[in-house]
Chain A
Amino acid sequence: MNRLLTVVEEAADYSFAVEYNGPPLPYEIPRAVPIDVNRIPLAAVAPPSAVLSDLPVVHPLPSPSTFPFKKRPPLPAPTLILPVPAASPTSVIENHDDMDGPDADVSGALGSSGFPDISTELSEVVESSGAVGFSDDLGYDATSSNEMVPNRLSTDSALSSELSFRSSASGGEDEAVATQAKRALLVTFRESGQSGDSMSPAIGLPLRTRSEELEMPIKRGACYRCLKGSRFTEKESCLACDAKYCSGCVLRVMGSMPEGRKCVSCIGFPILESNRERLGKSSRVLKRLLSSREVQLVMKAEKDCETNQLRPEDVCVNGKKLTLEEMALLKSCSCPPKLKPGLYWYDKVSGYWGKEGHKPDRIITPHLNVGGTLMPNASNGNTGILINGREITKIELQMLKWAGVHCAGSPHFWLNADGTYLEEGQKNIKGQIWGKPIMKLLCPVLSLPFPSKAANPSGEEVNKLFDRAGSECFDVKALQKLLLVGHHGSGTSTIFKQAKFLYRSVPFTEDERQDIKLMIQTSIYNYLLILLEGREWFEEESLNEQRENQQLDSSGDVISDKQKKATEFSISPQLKAFSDCLLKVVASGKLEDIFPNTPLVEELWNDSAIQATYMRLNELQLLPSIASYFLKRVVDISRFEYVPSDIDILYADGVTSSDALAYTEFHFPPLSCAGSSIDDDDQQETLFRYQLIRVHSKGLGENCKWLDMFDEVQIVVFCVAMTDYDEYHEDSNGVVMNKMMESRRLFECIASHPTFEQKDFLLILSKFDLLEQKIDMSPLTSCEWFDDYSPVVSRHPQSKTSRGVPIGATKAQQAFHYIAVKFKRLFFSMTGRKLYVVQANGLNSDSVNAALRYAREITKWEEDRLVGGTVDSMYSIEPSSFSH
């Protein structure tokens, strides 16, 4: 006794909080363990017959009455005196550990209040062992300080006393105490079992392990990581595994919280259903730890994160698993049900909602198109009375009776959402169930739901809701992405713009229009420049001609050389200066400097030389075919007030002025021709969002460097202008290349890119109308790739029906099929897969619509293929349909 006492008093002399920084001590710091080892009962003493097989658990609250004098006669007095000095280190620690200290105190206080008849000394013991827990942790955290040794000692003493108590309890001397102990035992067991689970990887030293497990019962509700704190400490728990952490550990355990409050190891796992209520609701702990914006971010991530969502297939309504859309609808209606995984029934007409086999639970928004049809036995009723086809329960029958509904002879009712009811097969409304004020009081008595005011929206509102739900919930869902790519001039931008016109209510915003206006104005100046360049060319040419003529009829008289020099392509010096200026400005890209400069442009345009050049437009290779459309209106366009019309936008070259990537999101509206028989499939289709991404080929770079950014696209739509076969393009190195070959090179590059290994490809062959004009003048074989083109020429090439429609395939159509097959074979040889081909004309909205719908079909086939079904379609162009 005395030895122990002295040691403890010695401990009181030491300073606990301040680390020793002085010179090395000449003497050894006392770390003696004064109790004889043999006298300390160890945990192994526990009888093998004990219920707890492998967990050495000591229950926390020893009974006071039996404790001091039973088993340990050698140490009766120390236990009496022990608490006093033992408490003082606790208080010291408390002072220095402001977060956890008070809680330890509280738990101590609880111990005493819980058992009013306990002598103070015992509760003090509890507290002292609690203090041991802290000192133990401190020793672990703040490096091993020597002051801890006495505490280690007190651990042992507390431990021994408790053990001694247990043996006494099992002795069964005091019935009350025994039951008390048993209850405690039960509780402790669960607690320690749980903690043991979560703690096991953290346990390192066997000694610590033991002390931890020993303390666990006392420290129920402690932080799972640092083991500090009591159940009164503010804690944050993991949504997925429910592990609780104190504020000091939350950030360490949960890291950056990409899915909200989850341990790092739980990321990716679904949350516990019991925690669903907490989703998105921040706690005090979090607010204290993070700035408000961070909390917002985490909460948003928590709410929106896909893994945290209730999975629609877990909820079954009227025997049918929900789809994502239905789920969204249910969640967003004005009176939403509480959704938990399970089976439910839903009465669409009245809005009744309940668990399958049970009476109605609540009344939600009616007329939601959710789940299957209501079964008669949905609520497991046996009254024979049907409401909206569901056999009602006895309790509902009671309600009906109270509501004054005549229920004799098991009638079948139709109950509407507004409470009016009528008998099946009859027209006249028999009454209003909810009409009586008393019903509002009676329903809760029967624990039946009563409709809230908001539960009765008109049908219109429901539709609106439906739309909203559709557009909102799919923000989360990945969209179907279509990548539109093609060589310069292949019509990708036209198709893109056409898609915007087709599917968007506001095709172009004001900013975009401004951008396009700038683009058109820039390009019109470029066209003018090309014209001016052409003019010089023609002037030189005609001068040469003149000179030759002169030499021919060299009559000698050099009459007015000036006059001779002026050909029809000459311009005035002023315009010459303007054109030079224009050249400079366009080269530097600072167009703002010259616009608007309409008078000069007008003068230039009306100049006979320019007009003469314009007449020979088709000789200027550089000028795109679309140029004449704009050049005709050059004066208008160069005006400051010019607003591009929709057609202008469509004709304009490109989508944005900076060759940037452009993208747009849209729905496919249901086909109008489908008329009354819009099938469900099509209805659902309107909910899917599509994103069309258009990439400028120039922006693709040399090696298609960043195609890997598009690994999420569903389908690659590649555009080739069919007219390219006889057009040539000169790159910066002066190498002239056939445009069709360029397209082919780009196609090969993209199709063989590893990112698109498993993607579908749709080839759009555009500019069919121009091909028709061209095919007669220049043969397809002018492209080296197509040199084996030998179409089957009909013997009557000019034969047409009376209405002017050619019989059989025209030359252009033959050419289209040929080109399509060429690309298909190329694609097959590279990837072994099938290339889909469609023809479209960018300026024709119907053909673009058809092509994009075809692309959508392909993505759907792909999904179906994944499911396992096979789909036949009216589309699909087989290579075999062409022979040569």
Chain B
Amino acid sequence: MSVAELKERHIAATATVNSLRERLKQRRQLLLDTDVAAYAKSQGRSAISFSTTDLICCRTLQGHTGKVYSLDWTPERNRIVSASQDGRLIVWNALTSQKTHAIKLQCPWVMTCAFAPNGQSVACGGLDSACSIFNLNSQVDRDGNIPVSRILTGHKGYVYSCQYVPDQETRLITSSGDQTCVLWDVTTGQRISVFGGEFPSGHTADVLSVSINSSNSNMFVSGSCDMTARLWDTRIASRAVGTYHGHQGDVNTVKFFPDGQRFGTGSDDSTCRLYDMRTGHQLQVYSQQHEGDDNDVPIVTSIAFSISGRLLFAGYSSGDCYVWDTLMAEVVLNLGTFQNSHEARISCLGLSSDGSALCTGSWDKNLKIWAFGGHRKVI
């Protein structure tokens, strides 16, 4: 068979796949008779009401001299690691707002950071196409820097996101601009499996974010510039378990719903969406009407769910941080309107493991910690 013939066949096959995909989409549309908000309304539910003092900024973590790009909480002990354009990782004590470690990085263009489940080490990745691991207990060198304890190399593009597997200290999943996600063994520095890339069901553009299911750590979901989110099983690297369409822009962030059966996404198209893992349906779109011209819609940079899942925190490039009622799809609070809110794009946010506090990082070089100020029962 000649190359030309092969090419023709390939083109034909691609066309078939696309048409099938289109049909699938239409079929899904037909099956989707309602969304969460409409159903909740029909059940007579109403949105949570928040007064402006219910969520207050109780700490401002100052110390970065560049834009903050990423943050992560420890599972316990209330520490935060943040990564900034000044080329440093800073580990904070969220309660006292003290810095416990400042790590100068080899490559200052860092995009992501993560705390290990045991709280003993942190990982970061960026434009150096590698993921660097730092052990917080290791001896500092002469200049007072913490030496890199391991560098995970193998990606062929920037590392945009990394996360430790919750119940395994030695496993880490990264996502990269080379269209793949990789599961690493941190102790050996070897790749255990590569998701996507040469396999046909992988992402077709840069993978921007990963989120690991906390109830079943074999499953993780990834969001990509190809406007899809994909679900993966770490035991089966060869193909994605599911592909979730719907967004009209790069999927910047994905996050599992606390029950582990759903996940949320945030995108360049200024919407957040909630997908059901098992049915593959899109359950709800969270979007706000934006007045003014269409070119200037703020993009969703980062999302987080409250422990109950009733609230969805979403950070936007406009500096807003909406608190969505996931059930009613209404914005119940906007942290960006507060007097002491961030002055620039909110680039990352995260909820502490006990759900008591929200930390936001911004391009204004600060991190802020928000907590419930009022007396309120658990929602």
B158 touches A300 (CB 8 A): no
Among B101, B129, B158, which residue has the most Cβ atoms of chain A within 10 A? B158
A280 contacts B by Cβ under 8 Å:
no
Closest residue to B252 on the A side, CB-wise? Answer: A705
Q: Which residues of A contact B205 (CB under 8 A)?
A: 701-702
Closest to B204 in A: A732
Complex formed: what's the CA distance from A656 to B63 in Å? Answer: 32
Q: Are B198 and A701 within 8 A (Cβ)?
A: no
B190-201 interface code vs A (CB 8 A; 1 in, 0 out): 000000001000
Interface residues of B in 111-166 (CB under 8 A from A): 111, 127-130, 140, 144, 153-158, 160
A290 and B129 contacting across the interface, CB-CB below 8 Å: no
Q: Which among A258, A300, A660 is the interface contact of B129 at CB below 8 angstroms? A: A660
**Which residue of A256, A699, A708, A709 contacts B61 across the interface (Cβ within 8 Å)?**
A256
Least CB separation from A296: chain B residue: B144
Is B273 engaged at the interface, CB distance under 8 Å to the other chain?
Answer: no
Chain A residues near B208 (CB, 8 Å)? 705
Whether the pair A658, B92 counts as a contact (CB closer than 8 A) is no
A699 and B7 form a contact (CB under 8 A): no
Q: Which of B63, B69, B154, B177 contacts A701 (CB 8 A)?
A: B177
| Contact between chains at B98 and A251 (CB < 8 Å) | yes
Residues in B lying within 8 Å of A, measured CB to CB: 2-3, 7, 10-11, 14, 60-63, 67, 69, 85, 92, 96-102, 107, 109, 111, 127-130, 140, 144, 153-158, 160, 177-178, 198, 204-206, 208, 225, 250, 268
Whether the pair A706, B99 counts as a contact (CB closer than 8 A) is no
Could you tell me if A701 and B206 are in contact, using CB atoms closer than 8 angstroms? yes
Residues of B within 8 A of A695 (CB): 127
Q: Which of A251, A296, A658, A734 contacts B7 (CB 8 A)?
A: A734
Question: In the bound complex, what is the Cα–Cα distance between A290 and B96 (angstroms)?
Answer: 11
**Is A509 an interface residue when CB atoms closer than 8 A count as contact?**
no
Residue in contact with A659 in the complex, picked from B2, B92, B109, B129, CB distance below 8 Å: B129
Whether A661 pairs with B156 at a CB distance below 8 angstroms is no
- Contact, CB under 8 Å: A709 / B127: yes
Flag whether A267 is at the interface (Cβ < 8 A): yes
A256 & B127 in contact (Cβ 8 Å cutoff):
no
A290 to B69, CA, bound (A): 27
Binary CB contact string for chain A from 275 to 305 against chain B (1 if under 8 A, 0 otherwise): 0000000000000001101101100110000
Question: Is A699 touching B85 in the complex (CB atoms < 8 A)?
Answer: no
On chain A, the residues within 8 Å of B206 by CB distance are 701-702, 705
Q: Which residues of A contact B204 (CB under 8 A)?
A: 732
Residues of A contacting B177 in the complex (Cβ-Cβ under 8 angstroms): 698-699, 701
Interface string of A776-816 (1 = CB under 8 A from B): 00000000000000000000000000000000000000000
Q: Which 6 pairs, one residue from A and one from B, show the smallest C-beta to C-beta distance?
A: A660-B129, A661-B127, A658-B129, A258-B63, A701-B206, A258-B62
Would you call A659 and B85 a contact (CB within 8 A)?
no
Q: Closest B-chain residue to A691, C-beta based?
A: B108
Query: Do residues B61 and A701 form an inter-chain contact, with CB atoms below 8 A?
Result: no
Asked if A706 and B11 make an inter-chain contact with CB atoms under 8 angstroms apart, the answer reads no
Given the known A-B contacts A297-B102, A658-B129, A706-B127, are A255 and B158 also in contact in the complex, defined by CB atoms under 8 Å? no
Q: How far is the CA of A153 from the CA of B83 in the complex (A)?
A: 55
- How many angstroms from the CA of A658 to the CA of B177 in the assembled complex? 11
Q: A256-B63, A698-B157, A706-B111 are in contact. List 14 more A-B contacts (CB 8 A).
A: A255-B60, A255-B62, A258-B62, A294-B100, A537-B3, A540-B2, A656-B129, A658-B128, A660-B127, A663-B107, A698-B177, A699-B127, A703-B268, A732-B204
Interchain CA distance A663-B109 in the complex, whole Å:
11
Nearest Cβ in chain B — how far from A703, in angstroms? 7
The residue from A300, A587, A659 contacting B144, defined by CB atoms under 8 A apart: A300
Q: Give Cα A701 to B97, complex, Å.
A: 36
| A537 cross-chain contacts in B, Cβ below 8 A | 3
In the complex, A23 Cα to B204 Cα: how many Å? 70
In the bound complex, residues from chain A placing their C-beta under 8 Å from that of B153 are: 658
Contact A256 B107, CB 8 Å, known A659-B129, A661-B128, A703-B250: no
Say whether A294 contacts B250, CB under 8 Å: no
Query: Contact at B225–A705, with CB atoms within 8 Å?
Result: yes
In the complex, what distance in Å separates the CA atom of A661 from the CA atom of B155? 12
In the bound assembly, the distance between CA atoms of A732 and B62 in angstroms comes to 45
A245 to chain B, nearest CB (A): 15
Instruction: Report yes or no: A705 in contact with B98, Cβ–Cβ below 8 A.
Output: no
Instruction: Enumerate chain A interface residues (CB-CB to B < 8 A).
Output: 251, 255-256, 258, 264, 267, 290-291, 293-294, 296-297, 300-301, 537, 540, 587, 589, 656, 658-661, 663, 695, 698-699, 701-703, 705-706, 708-709, 732-734
Closest Cβ neighbor of B159 among chain A residues: A660
29 A-B residue contacts at CB 8 Å? A251-B96, A255-B60, A255-B62, A255-B97, A256-B99, A258-B63, A264-B62, A267-B62, A293-B101, A294-B100, A296-B144, A297-B102, A540-B2, A656-B129, A659-B156, A660-B107, A660-B127, A661-B128, A663-B107, A699-B127, A699-B158, A701-B205, A703-B268, A705-B206, A705-B225, A705-B250, A706-B158, A706-B160, A734-B7
Report A-chain residues with C-beta under 8 Å of the C-beta of B225.
Answer: 701-703, 705
Complex: chain B residue closest to A301, CB-CB: B63
By a CB distance below 8 angstroms, the chain B residues around A699 are 127, 129, 157-158, 177
Query: Could you tell me the distance between the alpha carbons of A296 and B61 in the complex, rounded to whole angstroms?
Result: 18
B156 — which chain A residues lie within 8 A by C-beta? 658-659, 698
**Chain A: CB-nearest residue to B11:** A734
Cα A589 to Cα B156 in complex, Å, equals 10
Q: A258-B62, A703-B250, A705-B225 in contact; A658/B85 too (CB < 8 A)?
A: no
Q: How far is the CA of A734 from the CA of B67 in the complex (A)?
A: 39
Q: Nearest Cβ in chain A — how far from B178, in angstroms? A: 8
Q: Is the CB of A256 within 8 A of B158?
A: no
Q: Chain A residues with Cβ under 8 A from B101's Cβ? A: 293
Residue of B nearest to A298 (CB): B99
Q: Which residues in B have their C-beta under 8 angstroms from that of A656?
A: 129
Q: Of all chain B residues, which has the CB nearest A533? A: B3
Complex Cα distance, B160 from A709, in Å, reads 13
- Chain B residues with CB under 8 Å of A658's CB are 128-130, 153-156
User: How many angstroms between the C-alpha atoms of A702 and B61 in the bound complex?
Assistant: 33
Contacts of B60 in A (CB 8 A): 255, 264
Complex interface: chain A residues within 8 A of B198 (CB): 587
Q: Which of A258, A267, A589, A698 has the most CB of B within 10 A?
A: A258
B10 touches which of A660, A709, A734 (Cβ 8 Å): A734
The 8 Å CB contact of B99, one of A297, A663, A734, is A297
Q: How far is the CA of A290 from the CA of B101 in the complex (A)?
A: 12
> Which residues from chain B contact A732 at a C-beta distance below 8 Å?
204
* Complex Cα gap A291–B156 (Å): 40
Nearest chain B CB to A737's CB is how many angstroms away? Answer: 16
Q: Chain A contacts of B111 at CB under 8 A?
A: 706, 709
Q: Which residues from A are CB-within-8-Å of B14?
A: 733
List residues of chain B with CB within 8 A of the CB of A709.
67, 69, 85, 109, 111, 127
B107 touches A661 (CB 8 A): yes
Q: Which A residues are CB-close (under 8 A) to B69?
A: 709
With a cutoff of 8 Å between Cβ atoms, the chain A residues found around residue B98 in the complex are 251, 256, 290, 294
CB-defined contacts of A701 to chain B, threshold 8 Å: 157-158, 177, 205-206, 225
CA gap between A177 and B62 in the complex, in Å: 52
The CA of A540 and the CA of B101, in the complex, are separated in Å by 64
- The distance in angstroms between the C-alpha atoms of A301 and B99, with both chains bound, is 12
A291 to B204 Cα, complex, angstroms? 48
Of A293, A658, A698, chain B has the most CB atoms within 10 Å of the CB of: A658
A297 to chain B, nearest CB (A): 6
Cα distance A699–B176 in the bound complex, in angstroms? 10
Q: A255-B97, A256-B99, A734-B11 are in contact. Are A293 and B140 (CB under 8 A)?
A: yes
In Å, the complex CA distance between A460 and B348 comes to 53
A515's nearest neighbour on chain B, judged by CB, is B153
> How many angstroms between the C-alpha atoms of A337 and B350 in the bound complex?
50
Chain B residue nearest to A710 (CB atoms) is: B109
The distance from the CB of A548 to the nearest CB of chain B, in whole angstroms, is 15
**Distance between Cα atoms of A294 and B98 in the complex (Å):** 8
User: Are B128 and A660 in contact, CB atoms less than 8 angstroms apart?
Assistant: yes
| Docked CA distance A703–B61 (Å) | 31
Collect the chain B residues with CB atoms within 8 Å of residue A300's CB.
144
